[in-house]
Structure 1
Amino acid sequence: MKDIILEILKIVAPVSVALIVFSQGLGIAPGRVAAYFREQPGLMLRSLLATLVLVPLAAIGLILLLKPSPGVAIGLAILVACPPAPLMLKAATKKGGGSAEFMASLHLSLALLAFVTVPAMLYMLSMLLNFKSQVDLGVMAWILARTILIPVALGLAIRGFFPSAADRLAPVIGKIGTVGIIVVAVAAIAALYPALLNMDAWSYFVIAVVSLAGLTIGHFFGPADASEKTVLAVECGVRHPVLALTIAASNYSPQQALPVMVPCIISFILIAMLYMTWRGKQASRGPA
């Protein structure tokens, strides 16, 4: 039964993520996404530096300092090497008051750069932590294409040519994607709860510290605009779960990868949700 659930989740999870990303693309004017590259290149460069360089460096420093088990260290290294965070696209903008345009711009940038940054960062982290990790570029390209690049591009295109249709479609598709993610989360926890219970308290502490370090870097390194600061924090604090799981399972067996990656991914998401709740309350009270 567990294997059947996992096989179903492999299909439902990417589709649900793609629907959420697509629905957000439907609500964003294409010109606003392009404006970040054209009008604020410094902001984009600083955001990419924080997400791609500072977060992995902070993670490796904390791993070497806190010395978790080898499995947790490798799992965290793989996870922090795999931006962007497609699951947070809707939550960061709705719950955390983040800028949808800025998040779409970052998502597209990080997804395109991932073909270089993910293998490069994994190589550096593997050298420091003494583990082997190879990336299948074809598999990675397909994951990024179907969960980010294609849904965002399609959503932006429909928004640009058929704005009225986009307004009607976006809420419905977004709700379908959200329901799918909820089903995936409940099913994953039900199927893999032994992995959550078997991990020791110190490992969870290290995972939480690494996650908080990413959020902190994004928050304090981010721009003055509160909505953009929230987006950068979330991008720094949460990564691409499907990509990280795929890399981990391809280098180790699923039986080795899942008990480590699932607690890491769930912990990162839960901590980010707490951060976004705080940021959303701040946004409702006025400028941060």
Structure 2
Amino acid sequence: MTETVMILLKISIAVLIAGVGAGTSPSELTYLWRRPGLLFRSLAAMYLLVPAVAFGLVLIMPIERGVKAAMLVIAVSAGAPLLSRRLKKLNSQEYIFSLLITSSLVAIVVVPVWAASLAAYFDVTVDLSTSTVVLDIAKTILLPIMIGMAARAMFPASSARLSDRVLMIAGIVLVASAIALLVIHREHLAGLTWPGMLTLVMLILFALLIGQLLGGPNPDDRTALAIACATRHVGVALIVATEFAGVKTLVLVVAYFVTAFIVSSIYLTWRRR
């Protein structure tokens, strides 16, 4: 049952990202590259400051080893949010798409480095090779994006219309699969202590604040970066979490994403007022 849910999770992520690609144009790819200041702040927020906060929380909070492992996965799994359907209401589509592609490319190098550098401090052991990250990111992120963009190039009218439907269906499957995984392995959640839960929530709130502060003058860019920092990249997180023996780390990581989804939804509603 767990393997089936994992397959659904990965497929839904790939389809979701393909839907993003089908709803955007190639010209949006270089949006961030033409704005080095915003590019630097965005990457610094996701790849430096949020991991630094996670590191600090692990040092000061009395949390169990399983939560520390989940915190490591969350810390290194930076990337653009998979909340594209709702974020379409923001006037930052070029920024969001460019951030998705750019952060995925940066993850190929940064994720293994961060994992190796922080593993000892998070009291876990993880051997994550660059080749593994490259292959998995190519399959779950870059290839779906290219398929979506190719579909848009060949069928511009129909792909744009279908993009929203694809995002909606894939989003529902993703959320349903995540909840199913939590239900199947609820014993790992039952053993989660209050300090552990508090630490995960604190990371979400600090990440939202970091993105809000570094997103630049455009309010929609700040909102998008805040959600990107808080939700992290579920595709990259699954790649890292599967390197740990057992399912406890994976379950706690998924629990974080469900919580981040709820908190960021509240934040997004507040920001759109």
| Fold match by TM threshold 0.5 | yes
Separation (CA, whole Å) in 1 of partners of 2:92 and 2:238? 28
Q: 1:74 aligns with which of 64, 69, 76?
A: 69
Match of 2:255 in 1: 263
**1:244 and 2:237 aligned:** yes
User: What's the RMSD between the two structures over aligned residues?
Assistant: 2.2
Matches within 5 A, 1:69-108: 69-94=64-89, 97=90, 99-108=92-101
Separation (CA, whole Å) in 2 of partners of 1:119 and 1:265? 21
Residues 206-227 of structure 1 deviation map (CA, whole Å, 9 limit, x = unaligned):
1100111111101111111121
Matches within 5 A, 1:12-91: 12-38=8-34, 40-91=35-86
Query: With structure 1 as the length reference, what TM-score do the two structures score?
Result: 0.85
Separation (CA, whole Å) in 2 of partners of 1:182 and 1:263? 11
Aligned CA distance change for structure 1 residues 114 and 202 (closer, same or farther; 3 Å): same
| SS of equivalent residue, structure 1 residue 128 | coil
Residues 17-66 of structure 1 deviation map (CA, whole Å, 9 limit, x = unaligned):
1222222222212213323322x122112111111111111211122122
Separation (CA, whole Å) in 1 of partners of 2:91 and 2:133? 27
Q: 2:183 aligns with which of 175, 179, 190?
A: 190
| SS of equivalent residue, structure 2 residue 128 | coil
Separation (CA, whole Å) in 1 of partners of 2:80 and 2:190? 25
Q: Is the 8 A contact 1:84 1:235 kept in 2?
A: yes
Aligned CA distance change for structure 1 residues 170 and 150 (closer, same or farther; 3 Å): same
Separation (CA, whole Å) in 2 of partners of 1:176 and 1:256? 27
| 1:259 positional shift | 4.7
Q: Which region of structure 1 is more displaced relative to structure 2, 174-183 or 101-110?
A: 174-183
Match of 1:142 in 2: 135
Separation (CA, whole Å) in 1 of partners of 2:154 and 2:71? 42
Counterpart of 1:89, as a letter, is: S
Aligned CA distance change for structure 1 residues 133 and 219 (closer, same or farther; 3 Å): same
Match of 1:116 in 2: 109
**1:133 and 2:126 aligned:** yes
Aligned CA distance change for structure 1 residues 166 and 248 (closer, same or farther; 3 Å): closer
| 1:16 positional shift | 1.1
Match of 2:167 in 1: 174
Query: With structure 2 as the length reference, what TM-score do the two structures score?
Result: 0.89
| 1:175 positional shift | 3.0
- Larger helix share, 1 or 2: 1
Separation (CA, whole Å) in 2 of partners of 1:131 and 1:34? 37
Residues 126-148 of structure 1 deviation map (CA, whole Å, 9 limit, x = unaligned):
24334322114343223322332
Residues 67-106 of structure 1 deviation map (CA, whole Å, 9 limit, x = unaligned):
3222212210221101224533334334xx3622211111
**1:272 and 2:264 aligned:** yes
Q: Is the 8 A contact 1:86 1:107 kept in 2?
A: yes
Counterpart of 2:85, as a letter, is: K
Separation (CA, whole Å) in 2 of partners of 1:160 and 1:76? 40
Q: Is the 8 A contact 1:195 1:262 kept in 2?
A: no
Separation (CA, whole Å) in 1 of partners of 2:161 and 2:84? 19
| 1:277 positional shift | 2.5
**1:199 and 2:196 aligned:** no
Match of 1:286 in 2: none
Unmatched runs of 5 consecutive residues or more in structure 1: 283-288
| SS of equivalent residue, structure 2 residue 41 | helix
Q: Is the 8 A contact 2:29 2:101 kept in 1?
A: no
Separation (CA, whole Å) in 1 of partners of 2:167 and 2:83? 13
| 1:228 positional shift | 1.0
Separation (CA, whole Å) in 2 of partners of 1:9 and 1:99? 32
